[in-house]
Amino acid sequence: MSAPAMGTTKTAHSDVAPKKKRGPGALATAYLVIYNVVMTAGWLVIAVGLVRAYLARGSYHGLYYSIEKPLKFFQTGALLEVLHCAVGIVPSSVVLTGFQVLSRVFLTWAVTHSVREVQNEDSVLLFVSAWTITEIIRYSFYTFSLLNHLPYLIKWARVSSALLPHDASEEESLVPCGGVQNRIKKITWGMGMIDLTMVLGNHLGQFWTVAWLIRCSSHLQYTNCFLVSL
């Protein structure tokens, strides 16, 4: 029994073409297009609701109540994005996507919905407005990308939207000067949770990027890197 010629195995392996990463199938692509179109339309409804309520009232106070129901529905619907990552039809991190989505759902339900005194605060309108603009751009970007027809304007808006103040509420002084002590405690807790959740949501990705790129040689250096990343 003769031994195989040298290099035969190597040649056989080299003849096999490298496998290309496949995107979502036709059915998954169709589903994602529908999902992103619905989400784009939903956030457009929220945007129109905010504008109409402002024009009708002539003030931005209490605008939250005009978009409360669609905001809860479509923001909660973003939980499906975590499922998309988990089943593999979207090539994104389940952990990071879950943290970002859950932080917004937490603000929507555990803070804004539960603490009614917070609903009249200016910072709620600030983060809802920031969400509305960025989500309209983001879901439009995904829709056109899946259709392989991405207009330059949408691409430019997607890149530029990263400059929007997603944590604008952190810059506001939100605790009222008067009122009952319990109300002050509720508002302080609610706005504190908004600030904490937004800080974590915005800087988690930055932290992991810095931690991955910079290899610290000691525990002290690692701690310094962690603090700098925040």
One digit per residue, the tens of pLDDT, for the chain of length 230 reads 555 555 544 444 444 555 555 668 999 999 999 999 999 999 999 999 999 999 999 888 889 999 999 999 999 999 999 999 999 999 999 999 999 999 999 999 998 999 888 888 888 888 899 999 999 999 999 999 999 999 999 999 998 876 655 443 333 333 333 333 444 445 455 555 555 554 454 444 444 433 333 333 334 443 343 334 34
Residue with the two structure tokens 């392989």? 148
Which has the closest alpha carbon to 103: 75, 141, 84, 69?
75
How is the chain split into domains, by residue range? 24-170+179-199
CA–chain centroid gap for 2, Å, is: 62
CB atoms within 10 A of CB 168: 16
pTM: 0.67
Q: What is the pLDDT of residue 174?
A: 33
Q: What is the pLDDT of residue 24?
A: 81
